[in-house]
Amino acid sequence: MKRLFLLVLGFAALMAEGAEDPRRAQSAEIAARFQKVLGERLMSAMVADGPVAAIGVCRHEAPEVAARLSAETGTKVARTALRVRNPDNAPDAGECAVLKTFERDLKAGVKSSPEHFEVAADGSARYLKAILTQPACLSCHGAVLAPEVKAAIARHYPNDQATGFAVGDLRGAFVIEWPASGGEHP
Ligand code: HEC
């Protein structure tokens, strides 16, 4: 009896850590879809029309794709970063702490892109997946921007903090939030 109790307690602890929570894998899938769609749109716009026009993809399509994925999955899908271009993407205190952990892990040489999953006491959950800077990001997030790109970004984002990144740097994270009632899944 006592052993059963301990077993149940152990399982509850595991669940609290999110070790067995199906939402972790589902979150990873949602983040991967977001990344794939955005990457494809961005690359085709860059090739077809150049970086100034492609700014429109990031500006309009990123929030649209996030909204569509949110509606489809019953989650809240977003992007955040320690240094943001759009202040709407600024992290809350919890996200900020996770991003700093990601940055530390990357500096310490963690090879794969870090992720984090947590379940709150009310059953809601949050997943973050690191977004690393790639060569294709540098024309808009690198240390040196073409003057016309710089001007277009400054026009839309006067408080832009999202430049000066190098390949491999933590650019930000995908965030997938599950509501407290999110036990049932699509
Ligand atoms: C054509 C220019 C352009 C390119 C190329 C580009 N971005 Fe962005 N990025 C933007 C703009 C503009 C925003 C602001 C979007 C918004 O208003 O939500 C942004 C926002 C972001 C954000 C959300 C956080 C923030 O700063 O507001 C992340 C994360 C991000 N970009 C990552 C990347 C990554 C990773 C790449 C390369 C794969 C990339 N970007 C390539 C222009 C670009």
Task: Tell me the pLDDT of the chain (186 aa) as tens digits.
Answer: 566 665 555 555 555 554 579 999 999 999 999 999 999 999 999 999 999 999 988 899 999 999 999 999 999 999 999 999 999 999 999 999 999 999 999 999 887 889 999 999 999 999 999 999 999 999 999 999 999 999 999 999 999 999 999 999 999 999 999 999 744 444
Instruction: Give the nearest ligand 1 atom to 83 CA.
Output: 26
Give all strands (DSSP E) within the chain, no chain letters. 76-80, 115-119, 125-132, 170-178
Instruction: Give the nearest ligand 1 atom to 46 CA.
Output: 1
What is the four-CA torsion angle of 145, 154, 58, 174, rounded to 10 degrees?
90
What is the four-CA torsion angle of 25, 31, 36, 41, rounded to 10 degrees?
160
Cα 58 to middle of ligand 1, angstroms = 6
Residue nearest to atom 6 of ligand 1 (CA): 137
Cα 149 to middle of ligand 1, angstroms = 13
Mutate to test the pocket of ligand 1, among 58, 129, 171 (most ligand atoms within 8 A of CB): 58
Instruction: Give the nearest ligand 1 atom to 172 CA.
Output: 29
What distance in Å separates the CA atoms of residue 113 and residue 105, rounded to the nearest whole number?
Answer: 9
> By C-alpha distance, which of 143, 111, 145 is closest to 130?
111
